[in-house]
Amino acid sequence: MSKMSDKPEISNAEFEVLDVLWDSHPATSNEVISRLNDKKDWHEKTVKTLLGRLVKKEVLGFEKQQRQYLYYPLIAREDYTKKETASFVSRLFKGKITPMIAGFANQNSLSKQDISELKALIKEWEQNND
């Protein structure tokens, strides 16, 4: 036995497409295209290709609605971001988040609000782990 859903590699361009579908789904290719138009400047055909590749990779599913397809994500954003974050932090920071945040901090990328959110997060963690 093997080949148990081996992490589908999602490319950068593909991610953008998936991202708008996470925001709201299901959606037709045209909806996806027009939503992407706000940020990216991609040709319609390009987006369709990406949709197709994501389907092939089993990242998206679809359901025919007469002539068109209604696409929707097959994986949850949370699951994806969690895995990606873990592997990112593992690669670049040997798995320790603090150094990463430290990088943010001394780069002035931390706002007062970030700090208070972090504090809240810590407090919550401490309550769940007394």
Question: Three-state SS across 63-112?
Answer: EEECCEEEEEECCCHHHHHHHHHHHHHHHHHCCCHHHHHHHHHCCCCCCH
Q: Which of 8, 15, 26, 28 binds its own copies (CB under 8 A)?
A: 15
91 binds its own copies (CB under 8 A): yes
The listed partner (its own copies, DNA, none) that binds 102, CB under 5 to 8 Å by sort, is: its own copies
Task: Tell me which residues touch DNA (CB under 7 A).
Answer: 9-14, 28-30, 42-43, 45-46, 48-50, 52-53, 55, 66-69
The number of CA neighbours under 13 Å toward the Cβ of 124 is: 6
Nearest-CA neighbor of 8 among 48, 61, 47, 45?
Answer: 61
11 binds its own copies (CB under 8 A): no
Span near its own copies by CB under 8 A; candidates 24-32, 43-51, 62-70, 111-119: 111-119
Q: How many Å apart are CA 58 and CA 83, to the nearest integer?
A: 17
The site for its own copies (CB under 8 A) is made up of 15, 78, 81-82, 84-86, 88-89, 91-93, 96-98, 100-105, 107, 109-110, 112, 114-115, 117-119, 121-122, 124-126, 129
